[in-house]
Homo-oligomer: A and B are copies of this chain.
Amino acid sequence: MSATDVELISSTAEMRERAAHLRSEGKRIGFVPTMGALHEGHLSLVTAAAKRADVVVVSVFVNPTQFGPTEDFASYPRDIERDAALAEQSGCDILFVPTAREIYPDHYATVVHVQKLTQKMCGAFRPGHFDGVTTVVAKLLNIVRPHFAVFGQKDGQQVAVIERMVEDLDMDVDIVRVPTVREPDGLALSSRNAYLSTEERARATVLHEALRHALSLYRSGIVTVPRVLDEMQTIIRGKEGVELQYCVAVDSRTLEDVSELKAGVMIALAAFLGKTRLIDNVVLK
């Protein structure tokens, strides 16, 4: 791996100063928070940020507080040199890589909690997960002070929760949603795809198949949610080795359940393939 020109910052104080200086120069800062293990999905966020910003900051922080005790924090893939090279190729100027010690020092005690939206879907199965997400994103936004931050639609509940937090706390930042990037066979890109065995990887395409089926029903005028979800579940349950966790149709902003499909509705699901939990969604137009 050749050395990169991307500026590496690990100190929060240095990042703050850098951001303040950039702002004082009138530079527009775009921000992409990640947990590293960058793939084309992340890179599409960086590219989207580079189109709209003078300076793009990408953070890499595997945030311990958003993993449950039985989840994959320890084994989550980490390769900062590779991440730096990939981020730079997509237009990243500053890679912010704080330590857990600086993010959560002794006496740390604060949680940002979004009610309601976090109680369902992934939130129902990953208690505390979204508190970890909103808290670390609030911190990162306050450290990096971007004009806008970019999130993938792949994590559809996450971006809705973050939009809610930003609006509720009057945070001075725009949230930009970027469409999900998929493999040629439709599987949504995810750092966790690396965990899949060859067999599991082959089976995983059923998730996108079910979502595409819902889209085709919608396009043919079938908008009754129970029927659409029922057909999706039948498709997924027909595939051995895929355990559906949830499959819902909700408003993509408020995450409230809907009874009819229409523009702005998100159809979202989560499923286990062996020990690997994958999520995916589509938003109707």
Contacts and interface: CB of A to CB of B under 8 A. Distances in A.
A111 interface: yes
B164 A107 contact: yes
Range class of the A interface residue count: 20 to 34
Nearest to A115: B109
A170 B110 contact: no
A142 B167 CA distance: 11
Nearest to A110: B168
A143 interface: yes
Given A107-B164, A107-B254, A164-B107, A142 B172 contact: yes
A172 B16 contact: yes
A116 interface: yes
A110 to B, nearest CB: 4
Contacts of A169: 110, 112, 135, 138-139, 142
A172 B15 CA distance: 12
Contact of A16 (B16, B113, B170): B170
Interface of A: 12, 16, 107-117, 134-135, 138-139, 142-143, 145, 164-165, 168-172, 254
B114 A143 contact: no
11 contacts: A16-B172, A107-B164, A108-B168, A109-B114, A109-B117, A111-B113, A111-B114, A112-B112, A112-B113, A139-B168, A142-B172
A52 B196 CA distance: 59
A255 to B, nearest CB: 10
